[in-house]
């Protein structure tokens, strides 16, 4: 039952691939910057197991260079 | 809050936090659409409104669920922001829901503020206003409003004070931010407000920012500048300023000048234009007159100060001779700007192949020669004929959301009427006819501008002051005098606001106000765009719109016939009545029905169309047919180039007070922070005021980053944390302090000197000492 937001830094050259991987995860919304490679990610999960699954999925995306948490309401 | 709306609210807060962080990390960053959205949006109704905060006037869509504002996004249909928002806009609706929101009227009884039914509080306000008038005369009562007033608020205040009571004791805080822009426009063009619009950004090749940290103060417009540069090769942004800011870092060139020498730099640019024959002679011959005014005009530091300028006709040869004192080399010697950089700027303005827009805001307006520096930048554009065309023009930006719409257009200043000025008999007759009041009731003499009004309160000439939507006990310069004056025995202060502030601290009565879209209203932004908003949610408790508070008190005082409207239709009826003041192609306002539908309309609104470029016959129906340009605001149908010299400020650093003090805003906070400091993300991002010091000065004084220092001027002192290499960096010998923090009142130190023409104080220059604590 958590809502978090992050600034996501992609690995160089992998912005579009990262974006499509993130949007493929249930509970993830992405807002890409128009003039920068970074994007805003909002995760909105409905249970502890959902939250764990999202965190696991994020860890397995090689295109993520860095995730910076900016908001968390757990 | 329902489960759905709470969740949506949290999502919004999450997005806001991320965008705030991203804006801090990457100034000018622009976010696009959500790529994958599974919001619970079915329960959310989206409604248009202009942003509550700055004068850019972005169009927002506010999501309402369960009677509460739960989300906000940029309105893609708004030509202002095209769907963008800044960090304040994204967080704006949270400002409605601070824990200590004022919901009940408070009346001071035996020194303590006591909750009181609002009808009783309004009775007390009306009775006290009436008894003050009876005892001390009608000029003993006053209303001090705001550029954050809606247009109906300001209109009702003007009708009540000038048409009802018969006093010109009406002022607004826009005197502190825009008055020099107004007098600059009036003296150069005869009519107020910019000739161009934001669409200029989509056509310009060069942007010169005169003392304007646009990246923080007008962030969405600055994003549009960056976008223009990204899309068009050769576009350049020049930051001409007294300190290095986020704007400087994003600009193509940063040019630093010494405080006050912008006057000399503008003249030097003209000197180079004339010397190189880059003058557009046919434009100047057809459309320009040359004038000289008084010099050595003082600074308004004395209570009995008066000044009246006089225009004397001169010609191009006189102008050329005047400019001899402003060669790049001579100006470089005291401005700190190299002769090469002055020539570079002149070449940008002078190149016929490049379109140039100049932007400015407080740097030029809060200036003891504010009117002059506005005139001087107009001079540059007029000399080269780069004005009133798409992509070419001087553009004075405004700070507050309705400084233009309410204060400048409605005329909520002592000398103004909704059309024209009180000194003009025809303007008074027009007001008397529309208001259906005796002509003799509207006084022909202005009384007090803002600084003078607070001085009159201190002296006891004014006994009653009603302050709405502004926080003068944080913003007045030389604050101690005016706070002590307001607290004196025999003064009665009413404050209408949404949160407790240092100004409500001195109030005898506090009236809880309905905020933003808790009521219906209109704002007018920097580009002459009027934007309407509906009431979208109910105000909390007894909170009431400022418009309706004024009407309630006016009715109690016997002026009910001036305000015959019902609550349901009063905004529409006010708009229709107000529109009669501007019923001409020079200033026609869009009809109420148009404003309700459209994302704003730019006046003059003629034949169903906004006028984007005034004075240009291709766009402006008021310009004489057959002419290319017609500066119809002046009797000679010409714009005036003014010979205005460099004159120093009244207080400059010396051995006892060796630093310049500059004050201003930060992107996260709106003005005194009374709203934005209650938004957790914004408060966390900028929790306290600080003083920016150049590292060399800090080293010399043994001050380390984060250490407390004492700032002392001839008027007061505060203790703040030092910031070295922060978001902004002053030059050696200068410090900067933002004014959003009511626990660190920097205006205890500032000086109440003002431009003698506009009466606008200078918050950018006074002398202070820095002491390690
Ligand atoms: S730039 Fe100004 S008007 Fe636009 S969202 Fe930000 S504060 Fe509001």
CA distance B312 to B293: 6
Does residue B56 line the site of ligand 1, with CB under 6 A? yes
The model's pLDDT over B618-661, given as tens digits with 9 standing for 90+, comes to 999 999 988 999 999 999 999 999 999 999 999 999 999 999 99
Mean pLDDT of chain B: 95
Instruction: Please check whether residue B18 touches A, CB under 8 A.
Output: yes
Predicted-assembly ipTM surpassing the 0.90 threshold: yes
Does residue B54 line the site of ligand 1, with CB under 6 A? yes
The model's pLDDT over B64-75, given as tens digits with 9 standing for 90+, comes to 988 988 878 889
CATH code 3.10.180.10 for B46-97? no
Neighbours of B286 (CB within 10 A): 15
Give the helix, strand, coil percentages of chain A, each rounded to 5: 30, 40, 30
pTM of the model: 0.89
CA distance B293 to B296: 10
Residue from B286, B333, B339, B270 nearest B644 by CA:
B270
List beta partners, residue B253.
B238
The full set of domain ranges for chain B reads 1-32, 46-97, 105-177+401-564, 180-395, 659-750
Around B561, how many Cα atoms within 13 Å sit in the side-chain half-sphere?
8
CATH code 3.30.70.920 for A2-65? yes
Q: Exposure pattern of B406-436 as b/e (b: 16+ CB <10 Å)? A: bbbbbbbbbbbbbbbbbeeeebbebbbebbe
pLDDT of residue B263 exceeding 50, the answer is yes
CA distance B549 to B547: 6
Token pair 């090769």: residue? B233
Judge: B31–A34 Cβ closer than 8 Å, yes or no. yes
> Ligand 1 pocket check: which of B198, B219, B524, B740 to mutate, most ligand atoms within 8 Å of Cβ?
B219
Query: Ligand 1 centroid to B50 CA: how many Å?
Result: 9
pLDDT at B32: 67
Which residues 663-682 on chain B approach chain A with CB closer than 8 angstroms? 681
Query: Ligand 1 centroid to B217 CA: how many Å?
Result: 9
CA distance B519 to B571: 10
End-to-end Cα spacing for chain B: 47
The model's pLDDT over B279-338, given as tens digits with 9 standing for 90+, comes to 999 999 999 999 999 999 999 999 999 999 999 999 999 999 999 999 999 999 999 999
Looking at per-residue pLDDT, the higher value among B626 and B505 belongs to B505
Judge: A71–B30 Cβ closer than 8 Å, yes or no. no
pLDDT at B34: 62
For chains A and B, CB pairs below 8 A equal 89
SS3 B726: coil
Please give the structure tokens belonging to residue B248.
Answer: 């400087």
CA distance B614 to B598: 21
pLDDT at A3: 85
Please give the structure tokens belonging to residue B70.
Answer: 């739960």
pLDDT of residue B7 exceeding 90, the answer is no
Sequence-ordered list of residues with C-beta below 8 angstroms from that of A60, at least 6 positions apart, any chain: none
List beta partners, residue B522.
B532
Closest residue by Cα to atom 2, ligand 1, is B54
Measured between beta carbons, the chain A residues lying within 8 angstroms of B226 are 35
pLDDT at B232: 96
Does residue B265 line the site of ligand 1, with CB under 6 A? no
CATH, domain range B659-750: 2.40.40.20
Alpha-carbon distance A66 to nearest alpha carbon in chain B (angstroms) = 14
CA distance B86 to B101: 24
CA distance A61 to B430: 71
Which residues 21-80 on chain B approach chain A with CB closer than 8 angstroms? 21-22, 25-26, 28-39
Domain formed by B180-395, architecture = 3-Layer(aba) Sandwich (3.40)
CA distance B227 to B159: 44
Phi then psi for residue B732, to 5 deg, are -55, 135
Pairing mode of beta strands B288-292, B639-643: parallel
Provide DSSP, B655-696.
SSS-EEEEEE--TT--TT-TTGGGSHHHHHHS-S-EEEE-HH
- In which element (H, E) is residue B228 found? helix B219-231
pLDDT at B24: 66
CA distance B47 to B71: 11
Judge: B14–A32 Cβ closer than 8 Å, yes or no. no
Peptide bond preceding B603 in cis form (omega within 30 of 0): no
Domain formed by B105-177+401-564, architecture = 3-Layer(aba) Sandwich (3.40)
pLDDT of residue B36 exceeding 50, the answer is no
CB-count exposure of residue B685 (10 Å: 0-12, 13-18, 19+):
buried
Query: Could you give the residue numbers annotated as active site of B?
Result: 88, 177-178, 362, 399-400
CA distance B306 to B447: 12
């Amino acid at each position: 039952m958590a809502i978090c937001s992050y600034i996501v830094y992609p690995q160089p050259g992998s912005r579009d691939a990262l974006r499509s991987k993130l949007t493929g995860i249930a509970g993830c919304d992405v807002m890409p910057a128009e003039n920068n490679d970074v994007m805003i990610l909002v995760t909105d999960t409905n249970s502890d197991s959902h939250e764990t699954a999202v965190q696991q999925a994020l860890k397995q995306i090689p295109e993520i260079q860095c995730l910076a948490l900016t908001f968390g309401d757990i | 809050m329902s489960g759905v709306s709470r969740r949506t609210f949290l999502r919004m807060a999450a997005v806001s936090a991320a965008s705030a962080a991203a804006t801090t990390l990457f100034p000018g960053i622009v976010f696009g659409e959500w790529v994958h959205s599974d919001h619970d949006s079915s329960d959310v109704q989206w409604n248009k409104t202009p942003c509550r905060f700055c004068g850019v006037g972005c169009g927002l869509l506010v999501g309402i669920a369960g009677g509460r504002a739960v989300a906000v996004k940029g309105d893609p249909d708004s030509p202002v922001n095209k769907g963008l928002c800044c960090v304040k806009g994204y967080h704006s609706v949270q400002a409605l829901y601070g824990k200590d929101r004022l919901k009940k009227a408070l009346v001071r009884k035996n020194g303590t503020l006591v909750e009181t039914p609002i009808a009783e509080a309004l009775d007390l306000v009306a009775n006290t206003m009436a008894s003050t008038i009876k005892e001390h005369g009608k000029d003993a009562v006053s209303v001090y409003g705001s550029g954050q007033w809606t247009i109906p608020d300001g209109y009702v205040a003007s009708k009540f004070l000038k048409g009802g009571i018969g006093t010109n004791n009406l002022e607004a805080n826009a005197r502190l931010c825009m008055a020099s822009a107004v007098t600059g426009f009036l003296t150069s063009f005869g009519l107020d407000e910019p000739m161009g619009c934001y669409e200029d950004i989509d056509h310009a090749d060069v942007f010169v920012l005169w003392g304007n940290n646009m990246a923080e103060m007008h962030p969405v417009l600055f994003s549009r500048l960056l976008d223009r540069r990204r899309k068009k090769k050769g576009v350049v942004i020049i930051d001409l300023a007294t300190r290095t800011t986020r704007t400087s870092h994003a600009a193509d060139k940063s040019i630093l000048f010494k405080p006050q020498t912008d006057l000399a730099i503008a003249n030097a640019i003209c000197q180079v234009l004339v010397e190189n024959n880059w003058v557009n002679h046919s434009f100047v011959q057809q459309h320009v007159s040359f004038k000289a005014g008084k010099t050595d005009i003082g600074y308004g530091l004395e209570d009995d100060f008066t000044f009246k300028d006089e225009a004397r006709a001169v010609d191009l040869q006189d102008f050329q001779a005047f400019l001899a004192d402003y060669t790049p080399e001579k100006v470089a010697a005291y401005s700190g700007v190299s002769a090469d950089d002055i020539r570079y700027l002149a070449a940008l303005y002078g190149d016929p192949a490049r379109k140039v827009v100049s932007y400015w805001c407080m740097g030029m307006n809060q200036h003891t020669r504010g009117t002059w520096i506005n005139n001087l930048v107009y001079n540059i554009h007029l000399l080269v004929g780069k004005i009133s065309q798409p992509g070419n023009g001087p553009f004075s930006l405004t700070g507050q959301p309705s400084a233009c719409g309410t204060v400048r257009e409605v005329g909520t200043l002592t000398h103004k009427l909704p059309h024209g000025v009180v000194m003009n008999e025809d303007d008074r007759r027009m007001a008397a006819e529309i208001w259906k009041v005796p002509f003799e009731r509207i006084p022909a003499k202005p009384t007090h501008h803002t600084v003078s009004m607070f001085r009159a309160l201190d002296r006891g000439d004014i006994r009653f002051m009603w302050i709405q939507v502004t926080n003068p006990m944080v913003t007045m310069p030389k604050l101690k005098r005016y706070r002590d004056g307001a607290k004196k025995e025999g003064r009665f202060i009413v404050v209408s606001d949404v949160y407790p502030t240092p100004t409500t601290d001195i109030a005898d009565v506090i009236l809880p106000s309905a905020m933003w879209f808790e009521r219906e209203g209109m704002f007018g932004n920097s580009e002459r765009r009027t934007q309407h908003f509906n009431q979208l949610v109910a105000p909390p408790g007894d909170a009431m719109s400022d418009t309706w508070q004024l009407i309630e008190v006016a009715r109690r005082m016997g002026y009910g016939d001036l305000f015959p409207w019902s609550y349901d239709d009063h905004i529409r009826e006010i708009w229709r009545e107000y529109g009669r003041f501007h019923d001409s192609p020079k200033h026609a306002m869009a009809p109420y029905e148009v404003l309700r539908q459209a994302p704003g309309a730019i006046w003059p609104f003629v034949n169903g169309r906004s006028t984007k470029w005034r004075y240009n016959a291709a766009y402006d129906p008021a310009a004489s047919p057959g002419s290319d340009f017609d500066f119809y605001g002046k009797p000679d149908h010409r714009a005036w180039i003014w010979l205005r010299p460099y004159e120093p400020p009244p207080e400059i650093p010396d051995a006892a007070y060796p630093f310049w003090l500059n004050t201003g805003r930060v992107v996260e906070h709106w003005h005194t922070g009374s709203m934005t400091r209650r938004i957790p993300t914004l408060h966390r991002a900028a929790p306290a005021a600080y003083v920016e010091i150049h590292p060399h000065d800090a080293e010399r004084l043994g001050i380390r980053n984060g250490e407390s220092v004492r700032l002392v001027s001839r008027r007061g002192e505060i203790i703040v944390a030092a910031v070295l290499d922060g978001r902004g960096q002053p030059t050696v010998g200068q410090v900067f302090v933002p004014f959003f923090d009511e626990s660190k009142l920097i205006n205890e130190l500032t000086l109440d000197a003002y431009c003698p023409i506009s009466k606008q104080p200078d918050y950018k220059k006074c002398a202070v000492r820095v002491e390690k604590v």
